[in-house]
Amino acid sequence: MKIDTAMVLAAGLGTRLRPITDTTPKPLVPIAGKPMIDYVLDALAEAGVEEAVVNVHHLADQMEAHLARRKKPNVLVSDERDKLMDSGGGLVKGMALLPRKPLYVMNADLFWVGERDGEASNLSRLAGFFEPERMDIAMLVVRNEDTTGHNGKLDFSLGEDGRLTRYKDGLPNPVVYAGAFVLAPKLLDGAPEGPFGLNASFDKAIAAGRLHGLMLSGHWITVGTPDAIAPAEAAVARFSTPGR
């Protein structure tokens, strides 16, 4: 299906990336010369997203100035200067600025490289995979061996039917949440007012058998600490060569 709106979660404090984030919001920390959030927004623009909401809190003025310079997608700001809403509360607040229809949700500091030339992008594949009749969330997932900077934690088990369940030792097909999903807004109907985390919504979708996963193509990168920057930049160099 066509998905042309998105929410980018960018309001975190980035405390583990200090002292860099004392003066630079984490989404604007450059990796291989490009702010992390621009990897995300560029991927959304390539997938046909026309309007994206980005929430801001830490060093919000810097974030707004950077976002104002972007031409695609059109960016709306969800201001959390006064109160951090956590991932779930921030999503609910930001979605109020968009039409009520399926949308992409992405983390501003998680991205991938190495999609192959001539093939559909991960986000385009995710939109094609999403079926609102049987899914509340279609989530992009990645094998642990296809990551750089990850701590090794396994989040879900991917079933042969595409359904995701929480990972437990011994379950087959362990995967890592890649920080991107398509959401049916109705899943958040009745969500708590104020801050809350998205994990409860993931569990709600699992209980209904409506959380599905699609394997990422390419290489996934997360940057949690200053020491993770050099490996991330090496991965960008390695997986961004022509033809990969």
Q: The CATH number of the domain where 189 resides is what? A: 3.90.550.10
Tell me the average pLDDT across 159-175. Answer: 92
Q: Is 188 within the bounds of a domain?
A: yes
Q: Is 163 within the bounds of a domain?
A: yes
DSSP the chain: ----EEEEE-----GGGTTGGGTS-GGG-EETTEEHHHHHHHHHHHTT--EEEEEE-TTHHHHHHHHHT--SSEEEEEE-SS---HHHHHHHHHHTTS-SS-EEEEETTEEEE-PPTTS--HHHHHHHH--TTT-SEEEEEE-GGGEES------EEE-TTSBEEE--TT-SSEEEEEEEEEE-GGGGTTPPSS---THHHHHHHHHTT-EEEEEPSSEEEE--SGGGHHHHHHHHHHH-STT-
Full domain range(s) for residue 11: 5-239
Q: Is 244 within the bounds of a domain?
A: no
- What's the structural domain count of the chain? 1
Position 240 pLDDT exceeds 80: no
State residue 243's pLDDT score. Answer: 45
Confidence of residue 117 (pLDDT cuts 50, 70, 90): confident
Tell me the average pLDDT across 153-178. Answer: 93
Taking the model in full, what pTM does it have?
0.93
